Amino acid sequence: MPDLPPGVDVLWGRREQAKRGPRPNLSIEQIVDTAIDIASAEGLGPLSMNRVAENLGKSAMSLYRYVRNKDELLQLMTDVSAVKNAPPEPDQDLGWRPNLERWAYALVDLYRRFPWVLHVPLGPTPPIGPGQLAWLDRALACFRRTHLPAEVRIGVVMLLLTFIRGQVRMSQEINLGAAGAAAGYPPYGEMLRMVVDKDQLPDLAALVDEGVFDDPGEGMSDREFELEVRFGLTMIFDGIERLVSQFEEAQ
């Protein structure tokens, strides 16, 4: 039987513990929770095995008994964050849309609580930890009473995952970009006016002239973010609803 990839074996409790060496005085849970606290407070930049060890009052070498490297640590952190914000269970008294909407907005909350998750590089395999698979399973469960084929169900969930990840990450980057104003850079709308040519980019230029891209340099407010997410998800769910209806009518 082939081995699970490094990191995945830890998440599923499949890694054999070392029988030699000093008696363990740490746990993987302590290490991962400490790393999550650092990333949540300061981002991934300051995160290192040395920093985690320092916060735990241990030597960096002692951590390698539990976690092989930083990449593995990031993998563990990502899945544990999905456990800490567990997905909602579908309500059997509700239809697929209210249940899937609850799931989608809960995922938005997860990414906003742990913004660093969106900056963790994808590993050598698709997400396969227990926390991440639980989120996938709960989304698919919303379609139990529909006639959507399996490939359509997973396609819908992947569409939602892609949109939500992209929307939350974009809002993060807009807010980071707002810091450029403090560094003396012009606001985005003003820079667009400097480069957008009305002959070459006429439709974009019209929006620039209307002030669509103007902002006070304070980034995206929570209210603006919520409106953009709600607009996008409403468009997606309206499309899914038509798709579900088509398959129901075909039965």
SS3 42: helix
Please state the rounded mean pLDDT for residues 177-189: 67
Q: How far is CA 76 from CA 72, 106, 118, 219, in A?
A: 6, 21, 14, 31
Which has the higher per-residue pLDDT, 169 or 12?
169
Model confidence band, residue 2 (pLDDT cutoffs 50, 70, 90): low
**Under CATH, which architecture does the 8-82 domain have?**
Orthogonal Bundle (1.10)
Largest Cα span, the chain: 72
Average pLDDT of the chain?
87
Query: In this structure, what DSSP letter does residue 67 have?
Result: -
Q: What is the pLDDT of residue 195?
A: 94
Q: What is the pLDDT of residues 194-219, one digit of tens each?
A: 999 999 999 999 999 998 887 655 55
Q: Give the model confidence (pLDDT) of 92-117 as tens digits.
A: 899 999 999 999 999 999 999 999 99
Q: How far apart are CA 248 and CA 242, in angstroms?
A: 10
| Domain 86-178+219-249, CATH homologous superfamily name and number | Tetracycline Repressor, domain 2 (1.10.357.10)
8 class by beta-carbon count within 10 Å (0-12 exposed, 13-18 middle, 19+ buried): buried
pTM of the model: 0.86
Q: Comparing 8-82 with 86-178+219-249, is the CATH topology the same?
A: no
Cα dihedral sign, 216-222-227-232: positive
Helix (H/G/I), strand (E/B), else coil: 138: helix
Domain extents for the chain? 8-82, 86-178+219-249
pLDDT of residue 220: 60
DSSP designation for 64:
T
Give the residue among 132, 25, 118 at the shortest CA–CA distance from 76: 132
DSSP label at 1?
Answer: -
Closest CA to 165 of 119, 128, 123: 119
Interatomic CA distance for residues 99 and 181, integer angstroms: 41
Q: What is the pLDDT of residues 135-144, one digit of tens each?
A: 999 999 999 9
Q: In which band, very low, low, confident or very high, does the pLDDT at 14 lie, cut at 50, 70 and 90?
A: confident
Tell me if 110 sits within 8 A of 80, measured CB to CB: no
Q: 3-class DSSP state for residue 183?
A: coil
Tell me what the mean pLDDT of segment 75-90 comes to: 94
Alpha carbon 80 to chain centroid distance?
A: 12
What pLDDT digit, counting tens, does each position of 149-161 carry? 999 999 999 999 9
Here the tokens at position 121 are 């590089």
Task: State the CB neighbour count (10 A cutoff) for residue 10.
Answer: 21
User: What is the Cα–Cα distance from 52 to 73, expressed in whole angstroms?
Assistant: 10
